Amino acid sequence: MKKEQTTCKQCGICCTKGGAALHTSDITLIDQGLIPRKNLFTIRKGEFAYTPVSESAKATEREIVKLKGSGKEWTCCYYDPESRSCAIYENRPVACATLKCWDPEDSLALVGKDLLGRLEIVRHDKSLIDLITEYEHACPLPDFKAFSEAILKSQEEIIVNLESLINRDIQFRDKAVAKSARILEEEMFLFGRPIFQLLQPFGLAVMQSGNKLYLKVQK
C-alpha cells in the first residue's frame, strides 16, 4: 500500500508554479524589509489571471500583489532550484506557510481573501500613493470580460483607443522611472505589467514604429 503523504517532500513544484499572493498578515514582512518591494509585482483588478479555485484564467475581482517570478513557469524569486529550498523560509508569506500540496483545502480557502494591495503597502509614503493613484486614473485597464465580443463589433474604434492607452501607459512609466532609480526597481509592483502585454492573449499583436506602439488583430 502506498504511504499517505503528510509532510513536504521539497519537490519544489509549488515554488515553480508562480510566486505566492500576499495577504494582510504579510505586511510586517514588507515593513521590516524582509520582503522588499522590488521583489513584488502587481496583478491589477480586472486583469486576467489563473485561479486555482476554478482552475482557469478569469478577470480578477480585486488587486493581487505577488512575489516576483521568472521563466515560463514563473518560478518564485526566492526559490533555489539547486538546493530545492526557500531563501526566506523562516519569513515566508502566509500563503506559503499554509500550503500543503497533499491537502490543499486550507490554501484554497485563502484564495482571494484578505489580499494585500499596493496602497496598503506604501501607506506611509505619500509620493508613492499619489503616483499609483495617478497611474490608475491615467491608464485604466480595458474591460477584458467584454473584450473579444466588443472588438468584433467596432474593431477600428477599439484599436485606436487601445493604441492610445498602451502608448500613454509606456509614456507614464518612462516618465516615472526617469525620475527615480527606486521607481525603476519597483516598476512591476507599482504599475504591474505593461498593458500591451495583457492584450496579446486576446489576439492583438504589438508592433513598434519609432517610439510608438501599434496594434494589429491576429487572424
Q: Within this chain, do residues 41 and 86 fall inside the same structural domain, yes or no?
A: yes
Instruction: For residue 74, tell me if it sits in a domain.
Output: yes
Instruction: For residue 196, tell me if it sits in a domain.
Output: yes
Does residue 3 surpass a pLDDT of 70?
A: no
Is the CB of residue 138 less than 8 Å from the CB of residue 174? no
Instruction: For residue 19, tell me if it sits in a domain.
Output: no
Among 26-35, 97-106, 108-117, 207-216, the range of highest mean pLDDT: 26-35
Spatial separation of the C-alpha atoms in residues 99 and 103, rounded to whole Å: 8
Weakest-pLDDT range from 28-32, 150-154, 207-211 = 150-154
Q: Within this chain, do residues 131 and 213 fall inside the same structural domain, yes or no?
A: yes
Straight-line distance from the first to the last Cα atom of the chain, in angstroms, rounded to the nearest whole number: 53
Weakest-pLDDT range from 116-130, 152-166, 188-202 = 152-166
pLDDT band at residue 32 under the 50/70/90 scheme: very high
**Of the residues 119, 150, 178, which one is the last residue of a structural domain?**
119
Pairing between β-strand 212-217 and β-strand 85-86 as defined by DSSP bridges = unpaired
Please report the pLDDT score of residue 53 as a whole number. 57
Average pLDDT over residues 189-203: 92
Q: How far is CA 168 from the centre of its chain?
A: 20
Q: Within this chain, do residues 94 and 154 fall inside the same structural domain, yes or no?
A: no
**Of the residues 119, 146, 168, which one is the last residue of a structural domain?**
119
Phi first, then psi: what are they for 52, rounded to 5°?
Answer: -70, -20
Cα–Cα separations (whole angstroms), residue 183 to 82, 128, 211: 31, 9, 21
The tens digit of pLDDT for each residue in 97-149 reads 898 777 777 777 788 899 999 999 999 999 999 999 999 999 999 988 776 66
Entry field: residues in the chain = 219
Please report the pLDDT score of residue 74 as a whole number. 79
Task: Annotate 21-79 with three-state secondary structure.
Answer: ECEHHHHHHHHCCCCCHHHEEEECCCCEEEECCCCEEEECCCCEEEECEECCCCEECCE
Q: Within this chain, do residues 65 and 127 fall inside the same structural domain, yes or no?
A: no
Q: Within this chain, do residues 114 and 127 fall inside the same structural domain, yes or no?
A: no
Angle at 162 between CA 160 and CA 168, to 5 degrees: 105
How many domains is the chain partitioned into structurally? Answer: 2
Q: Within this chain, do residues 104 and 186 fall inside the same structural domain, yes or no?
A: no
Please report the pLDDT score of residue 103 as a whole number. 72
**Of the residues 56, 87, 119, which one is the last residue of a structural domain?**
119
Model pTM score: 0.89
Q: Within this chain, do residues 134 and 186 fall inside the same structural domain, yes or no?
A: yes
pLDDT band at residue 153 under the 50/70/90 scheme: low
- Boundaries of domain holding 143: 122-217
Instruction: For residue 10, tell me if it sits in a domain.
Output: no
Spatial separation of the C-alpha atoms in residues 150 and 152, rounded to whole Å: 5
Please report the pLDDT score of residue 28 as a whole number. 97
Spatial separation of the C-alpha atoms in residues 164 and 139, rounded to whole Å: 10
